[in-house]
Amino acid sequence: MIGVGLIGSGFIGDTYADALQDVRNATLVAACSRDLARAAALAAKWAPPHARAYDDAAALCADPDVDLVVVAVPNEAHLDAVRAAAAAGKGVVCTKPLARTGAEAAAVLNVVRAAGVWHGYAESSVFSPNIAKAHDMVAAGAIGDLLTMRAREAHSGPHAPHFWDTRTAGGGALLDMGCHTVESARHFFGKDNPIVEVFAWGATLAHAERTTGEDTAIALLKFAGGQLATVESSWIEKGGMQLRHELVGSAGRLVTDTSATPVWGFIERPAGYLVEKADADTGWVYPVPEEARAYGFSQQMRHFVDCFARGEAPRETFEDGVVVNHVLDACYASMRSGTWEKVPHPAALAPKAQAPA
């Protein structure tokens, strides 16, 4: 049984705690928040009666019952949280994006490499059931050679205020949500087929009073093999999450839509929580059953724990997070220049083996 310590008590921390309920060989043993009461509440909700609460990340990481640390804090706190886990010699999973810039992501990677600890990058999109099925079909040649992909993630804006502050968060909708679609593009086109050039546009169309970052962005990703991915990120769309992929091949096409749901209808009276960022609780509603599973959080946690227990590198590592951050850096450079920008190959990615658990 793998003991998990969770750093962060916000929306994503709660989601990860929910996802861990589906992992047969892991248990949440400790939770940490700057607000001790919030950590205690999360522990009581998901891991009664013996999980411990901390208001100091180093203390959680030093807990002898914690084998694997899951980082679920704002972007600007990732590096320090990973340092705490690495200093304690614990394996670590970090939420997306790995960092705010490629340089900072490389620093995060260097921390775990120097400490020789196991690491996993929590990019949920590649683990969601519909993406996994589409990937299996593409890999089996169902639509021939994959030529283009269009992916979009959209909603009405982040839950927490820290996402809106680009001075600390590092970026707007593209960093917050484009990290998902960039990595799903790498997942489909192959990580041995790098993104070499990007063109991007971004603007603040609806939330100028809340953020100096872009609330809408589109990026074109050109791969070494000549394929093209279009990724769209939006904080201006009301009515719940939009998670869609359109894959075009030489012998067919596939469409996935995580926001599609078997439950929908018109209601005049509220019925409680419906779906992340629903924006309204009456009228036409489209609740998503078992969100943690529909979005791939449960599947990724099972994968990480299984790989950690076996001492194997997972499908998504900090190296992947570094690549994504460098691609996004190039996208932001393109927004400023108005031209195609090259994506550098990060020097931090010189091959090194994962440390055993």
In this structure, the answer to whether residues 139 and 26 fall within a common structural domain is no
> What's the predicted TM-score (pTM) here?
0.94
In this structure, the answer to whether residues 218 and 92 fall within a common structural domain is no
> Lowest-pLDDT range, 1-5, 259-263, 340-344?
259-263
pLDDT, position 355 = 59
Residue 221 in any domain: the answer is yes
Query: What's the total number of domains in the chain?
Result: 2
Q: Please state whether beta strands 119-122 and 91-95 pair in parallel, antiparallel, or not at all (unpaired).
A: parallel
Scan for tokens 């994506």, then name that residue: 343
- Identify the domain containing residue 43 by its residue range: 2-123+298-316
Six-digit token string for 184: 């799903």
In this structure, the answer to whether residues 35 and 107 fall within a common structural domain is yes
Report, as an integer, the average pLDDT of 157-174: 92
In this structure, the answer to whether residues 76 and 149 fall within a common structural domain is no
Residue 181 in any domain: the answer is yes
**C-alpha angle 164/228/99, rounded to 5°?**
30
% of the chain surpassing 70 pLDDT: 97
- Tens-digit pLDDT profile for residues 94-146: 999 999 999 999 999 999 999 999 999 999 999 999 999 999 999 999 999 99
Residue 52 CB-half CA count within 13 A: 15
In this structure, the answer to whether residues 157 and 284 fall within a common structural domain is yes
pLDDT, position 258 = 82
Report, as an integer, the average pLDDT of 1-29: 96
CA dist., res. 63 & res. 33, Å (int): 15
- Tens-digit pLDDT profile for residues 264-290: 888 888 888 888 778 888 888 888 888
CATH number, domain containing residue 138: 3.30.360.10
Residue 170 in any domain: the answer is yes
Residue 237 in any domain: the answer is yes
pLDDT, position 357 = 57
pLDDT, position 170 = 96
- Tens-digit pLDDT profile for residues 187-245: 999 999 999 999 999 999 999 999 999 999 999 999 999 999 999 999 999 888 889 99
Q: How confident is the model at residue 354 (pLDDT cuts 50, 70, 90)?
A: low
Q: Please state whether beta strands 119-122 and 265-267 pair in parallel, antiparallel, or not at all (unpaired).
A: unpaired
Residue 272 in any domain: the answer is yes
- Phi and psi at 243, nearest 5°, equal -135, 100
Residue ranges with strand state E in the chain: 2-7, 26-32, 52-54, 68-71, 91-95, 119-122, 146-154, 195-203, 216-223, 228-234, 242-249, 252-257, 265-267, 283-285, 341-342
